[in-house]
Amino acid sequence: MKRINKISTKIKIIGASLVFLMASVLVTTIYLNQQNAKDALVINIAGKQRMLTQKIAKNIFYIHYTYNQDFYELNAATDEFIKGLNILRHGDHDKGISAISTYNISKQLIEVRKLWNDYYEDVQNFKLLTQSYADRDQGEKIVQSIYKNNTILLDNVDKLVTMYTNNSEDKTNFIKSFQYLAGAILLIIFLYSLMQLRSIESHVNIFLQYSKMLLSNKNTSEFKPIKLEAESESEIVEVGHTINCFVQKINSAMDYSNEALKQSEYASSKLEELTDEFDIILDELKDKSIVSKHLNNSEDMVIESTEELINSTKKLSNLKLELEKLTKSCQDVKS
């Protein structure tokens, strides 16, 4: 895997990871909280279905044993049960309720629907027999069937309520687990950020120590290049290469000026020796005017060359001094 060694890339990755993590936690928490609020409505509807089965059975027993033919409460309870069952199966757009599509809940809804169809058929038959004053024994059989099926329907509706409750609790537990996981990832990102910042700080400290060394270095004849760690960031490596290139140029200029100064001093000393020899010759040939004239001209040329070399030596010395001033400029500023 390619190692990331750019400061800007590290900062972007850390920032993007934090933004993505926080956005994920925020969106997921809001979404699941909304779903839990809707699940509470669904659980309430499912719990009401359980109550309605009891209400239907109670009304049937009351009508049967009191010979009453008022079906208003019975019909209202039956219609409400059918409506609630349809909401559980298909959802309710107006209330923002979506149908639960888990396999176990869907399977249990089918079972409840099947039991309800049989139960509803007995209720309708009971109403017909009661209104037509049919055989009392037949009505008694239907009532017993309703009593029996009501218990089975009630147990299955109760099981359905438990499934809805467990489904809602699973979502709540998922939110908690997700938040714990996000917190752990956030901690890891924080530790990673701290490690990277300390790494960057240590690499920058190399430049600070190097600059202090330049300020405190009394020997300006040669500077050592800065040494960087292999795992240094690319920006720091690039700056280090630039500084080393500058130091190398200064060292080269200093070496060149020293060498040129030595050569000029050597040439000057040789010319001085020649001048001394010409002085000796002139002393020996001072009575010969023509020869003396030519020798005097030669002596003037040698003296002039010597002066030029001395001037060149002075200029090279000045160049060396200027380079030394350049390298000592940081020390002058500090003092």
Range of the domain at 276: 234-334
Domain boundary among 149, 173, 199: 199
Residues 186 and 278 in one domain: no
212 is a domain residue = no
The string over 185-222, giving b where at least 16 C-beta atoms fall within 10 Å of a residue's C-beta and e elsewhere, is eeeebeeebeebeebbeebeebeeebeeebeeeeebee
Q: Which amino acid, residue 232?
A: S
Residues 176 and 300 in one domain: no
Q: Is pLDDT at 1 greater than 50 in this prediction?
A: no
Secondary-structure breakdown of the chain: helix, strand, coil percentages, each rounded to the nearest 5:
85, 0, 15
Model pLDDT, residue 78: 94
CA distance to 9, 10, 40, 233, per residue, from 15 (Å): 10, 9, 37, 18
* Total domains in the fold of the chain: 2
322 is a domain residue = yes
CATH at 173: 1.20.120.1730
298 is a domain residue = yes
Q: How confident is the model at residue 330 (pLDDT cuts 50, 70, 90)?
A: very low
- Short-list 130, 144, 169, 126, CA closest to 39: 169
Taking CA 12 as the corner, what is the angle to CA 11 and CA 18, rounded to the nearest 5 degrees?
Answer: 90
Domain boundary among 199, 224, 259: 199
User: Between residues 216 and 123, which one has the greater pLDDT?
Assistant: 123
Domain boundary among 148, 176, 199: 199
pTM beyond 0.85:
no
CA distance to 10, 57, 143, 292, 307, per residue, from 277 (Å): 75, 145, 151, 14, 17
109 is a domain residue = yes
Task: Decide: 62 and 68 in contact? Cβ < 8 Å.
Answer: yes
